[in-house]
Amino acid sequence: MTQDFLPISKADMKKRGIEQLDFVYVCGDAYVDHPSFGHAIITRLLESRGYSVGIIAQPDWKDDTSITKLGEPRLGFLVSAGNMDSMVNHYSVSKKRRTMDSFSPGGVMGKRPDYAAVVYSNLIRKSYKHTPIILGGIEASLRRLAHYDYWSNKVKRSILLDSGADIISYGMGERSILEIAEALAAGINIKDITYIAGTVFRTQNQDFLADGVALPSYQEIVADKVAYAKSFYTQYQNTDPFTAQKMYESYPNGIFVVQNPPQKPLSQMEMDDVYALPYMRTYHPIYEKDGGIPAISEVKYSLISNRGCFGGCNFCALTFHQGRIIQTRSHSSILEEAEKITKDPDFKGYIHDVGGPTANFRHPSCEKQLTKGVCKNKQCLFPEPCKNLTVDHKEYLSLLRKLRALPGVKKVFIRSGIRFDYLLADQDDTFFKELCQYHVSGQLKVAPEHISDNVLKHMGKPNVATYNRFRQRYKRINEKLGKKQYLVPYLMSSHPGSTLKDAIALAEYLRDLGYMPEQVQDFYPTPATISTCMYYTGLDPATLQPVYVAHNPHEKAMQRALIQYRNPQNYDLVYEALKKEHREDLIGFGEKCLIKPRNVAKNNKKIPKSKPRAKTKSIRNVHKKKR
């Protein structure tokens, strides 16, 4: 069969000789047949096992017939909101509507609804009362149990209940979706598919609860934030496929939502097979007239080399979605894909990225993880690197050298992020030197996030002394290489634990560096992170100790303004913050001062009156390379 896109119309089905599809995949993103897009991987994987699959991308949720264009599937509908949670896709942290959707034709906003997975599933149910609906993707995965929803400021039920779907395939769903497909093809009723790892189902049969851990009920966590924090931390401790237990939460009318333990990590051979599927590696040609799909530009010449992350940042949802165990592709698999990239007529010789959630994680953090799982109550890198941590960049370095040697490749960049504390823990500087020599183009982006050790503790990030050691070593290596290259630190304001005092300390640190960031990310409370639990409850879920949280939009604006204190538009906010914290010593003409006195500023007419709220930039890479 000639390699082609999957069917998106009845005409496509007829061309392939298909009268009825086995599955119809409904997605909030435009159809891009590239392995960086979850819908592409799942549909191609099912196709490779002999199932026929069609795609309805971005259906018009206001039109009931938009969901029926491919007819009723024989086995079921697969539903995903897309590569991002639809609410993160739509709104900034200040809850203002974004102006661009990179996953839609021409970047046009408004092609999908809010809470897309729920809306699409309800739309399907209008026309197909009994056809199985399987939810997947990042939105369903991170909302699989009751969760705090920042945009409505409420604790929402499991998305399984609000959507009316039958089952959730959570995490990286390759294994679970194949097992679900096999069960449906064998004639098993969707309501009886209760045994598959990596799935969530609902039931009124208490026999399914016998070997499970009871979480606080939905009514309890709505009424009591301590109960919410306890429930969340129990879930957090049960994210490892080797040690996790079945969990369930109860709802009114005798309903239980049950989460099975996660699927085991893919082997390297399985990972290779996934990325060797016959992707078209671009968006469907129907979008050409609209200017294509902007998101493809970031990934078209990038290579995914790993999954999972043992970094353990509290504001990241990777623990709940991809897990902490690193899974990798082989060198031969990555090189084969790289060679395909070099043959693209638009390829200019630059591979944009070789990585994943964290680029320099290419093996499990210690030997026991692939048989016993990760530690429940310990992190691999925080507060200090574990004594059992395996630190070795040789294999990753070997891969990068092979890629650099490919004909047609001029430069190989690393954009998906380097974990600098892990890099520092490597006693061999070879990788660090070659990183600076070959894989940085003037600037290296890293993520210290803050410099207050109090804030960093609540972020699950290394202390500022570690970042300072990294800066110094980076500077020394570049000087030896004769290169003028700089660090671009990602910084976050208003994270739980951060006070105005901490924000001022960060401003002073930036002053001493002589650096003012162009962009700052306000903390964004997205589903299924420890930091979001802190934001909602005001408690550290691990200890139940109180955590300071800046909820007031004006205080959040002041914290953000302090990081960019040189910006004249931020003058009033910075002045107010300094006065409030009795730091008038930072207002004046001395070299340590952040701003000049107000009367001087006004007389010089250089400081326009700022708006009460600082404009918020879009969320940074929260859902990068996730489904």
3-state secondary structure of 409: coil
DSSP 91: B
Identify the residue whose tokens are 């048989």: 371
Final residue of a structural domain among 410, 441, 472: 441
Q: pLDDT over 70 for what percent of the chain?
A: 95
How many Å separate Cα 575 from the centre of its chain? Answer: 35
Asked if the structure places residue 476 within a domain, the reply is no
How many Å separate Cα 173 from the centre of its chain? Answer: 15
Going by C-alpha positions, the residue among 110, 45, 111, 108 that lies closest to residue 78 is: 45
**Could you tell me if 422 and 507 lie in one domain?**
no
CA distance 86 to 101: 10
Strands 327-328 and 306-307: antiparallel
Q: Which residues of 307-330 are buried (b: 16+ CB within 10 A; e: fewer)?
A: bbbbbbbbbbbbbbbbbbbbbbbe
Mean pLDDT computed over 438-461: 95
Give the per-residue pLDDT at 187: 98
**CB 587, CB 593: distance < 8 Å:** yes
List of residues 6+ apart from 121 with CB closer than 8 A: 77, 79, 133, 135, 163, 164, 165
Query: Residues 359-412: pLDDT tens digits?
Result: 999 999 998 887 888 998 899 999 999 999 999 999 999 999 999 999 999 999
Give the per-residue pLDDT at 370: 78
Mean pLDDT computed over 557-570: 96
Which two tokens mark 382?
Answer: 């925080």
Asked if the structure places residue 391 within a domain, the reply is yes
**Could you tell me if 210 and 330 lie in one domain?**
no
Q: Is the pLDDT score of 617 beyond 50? A: no
Mean pLDDT computed over 572-597: 97
**Could you tell me if 435 and 491 lie in one domain?**
no
DSSP readout, 296-365? HHHHTTEEE-EE------TT--HHHHT-SS-EE--HHHHHHHHHHHHTSTT--SEE-EEESSSTT--S-S
CATH number at residue 155: 3.40.50.280
**Could you tell me if 121 and 248 lie in one domain?**
yes
Q: Could you tell me which residue, 368 or 483, shows the higher pLDDT? A: 483
Q: pLDDT over 90 for what percent of the chain?
A: 91
pLDDT band at 441 (very low <50, low <70, confident <90, very high): confident
CA distance 307 to 484: 32
Asked if the structure places residue 280 within a domain, the reply is no
**Could you tell me if 43 and 177 lie in one domain?**
yes
Mean residue pLDDT across the chain = 94
**CB 404, CB 412: distance < 8 Å:** yes
- Residue 303, phi then psi, degrees to nearest 5: -125, 125
Give the per-residue pLDDT at 369: 84
Asked if the structure places residue 491 within a domain, the reply is yes
CA distance 237 to 23: 34
**Could you tell me if 327 and 219 lie in one domain?**
no
CA distance 389 to 367: 9
State the SS3 of 454-521.
Answer: HHHHHHCCCCHHHHHHHHHHHHHHHHHHCCCCEEEEEEEECCCCCCHHHHHHHHHHHHHHCCCCCCCE
Q: Is the pLDDT score of 167 beyond 50? A: yes
**CB 23, CB 68: distance < 8 Å:** no
- Residue 387, phi then psi, degrees to nearest 5: -65, -20
Give the per-residue pLDDT at 609: 45
Give the per-residue pLDDT at 388: 92
Which two tokens mark 290?
Answer: 């609209």
Q: Is the pLDDT score of 605 beyond 80? A: no
CATH number at residue 359: 3.30.750.210
Q: Is the pLDDT score of 574 beyond 50? A: yes
CA distance 432 to 417: 14
**CB 80, CB 135: distance < 8 Å:** yes
**Could you tell me if 415 and 520 lie in one domain?**
no
**Could you tell me if 558 and 496 lie in one domain?**
yes
Mean pLDDT computed over 540-561: 97
Mean pLDDT computed over 445-451: 94
Looking at the DSSP assignment, which residues form a beta bridge with residue 355? 304
Beta strands per DSSP E along 419-465: 443-449
Looking at the DSSP assignment, which residues form a beta bridge with residue 202? 257
- 70-79, 239-248, 360-369: which has the minimum mean pLDDT? 360-369
**Could you tell me if 211 and 125 lie in one domain?**
yes
Asked if the structure places residue 624 within a domain, the reply is yes
**CB 78, CB 177: distance < 8 Å:** yes
End-to-end CA distance of the chain: 28
- Domain containing residue 520: 483-627
Going by C-alpha positions, the residue among 395, 273, 287 that lies closest to residue 57 is: 287
* Number of domain units in the chain: 3
Give the per-residue pLDDT at 453: 97
Final residue of a structural domain among 384, 417, 441: 441
Asked if the structure places residue 451 within a domain, the reply is no
How many Å separate Cα 269 from the centre of its chain? Answer: 24
Give the per-residue pLDDT at 368: 86
Mean pLDDT computed over 238-244: 95
Q: Is the pLDDT score of 600 beyond 90? A: no
Asked if the structure places residue 276 within a domain, the reply is no
**CB 168, CB 627: distance < 8 Å:** no
3-state secondary structure of 163: helix
Which two tokens mark 18?
Answer: 């298909």
Give the per-residue pLDDT at 602: 57
- 174-178, 389-393, 606-610: which has the minimum mean pLDDT? 606-610
Q: Is the pLDDT score of 8 beyond 80? A: yes
Torsion of CA 345, 351, 356, 357, to 10 degrees: -120
Going by C-alpha positions, the residue among 150, 64, 62 that lies closest to residue 525 is: 150
Q: Where are the alpha helices (DSSP H) in 17-104?
A: 38-48, 86-90
Element (H, E) at 251: strand 247-251
**CB 504, CB 562: distance < 8 Å:** yes
Mean pLDDT computed over 287-304: 96
Q: Is the pLDDT score of 201 beyond 60? A: yes
3-state secondary structure of 169: strand
**Could you tell me if 254 and 314 lie in one domain?**
no
**CB 339, CB 403: distance < 8 Å:** no
pLDDT band at 3 (very low <50, low <70, confident <90, very high): confident
**Could you tell me if 514 and 577 lie in one domain?**
yes
Final residue of a structural domain among 441, 475, 491: 441
Asked if the structure places residue 282 within a domain, the reply is no
Mean pLDDT computed over 481-502: 96
**Could you tell me if 174 and 46 lie in one domain?**
yes
**CB 532, CB 148: distance < 8 Å:** yes
Which two tokens mark 537?
Answer: 């409850």
Sign of the C-alpha dihedral computed for residues 196, 199, 204 and 210 taken in this order = positive
CA distance 331 to 583: 55
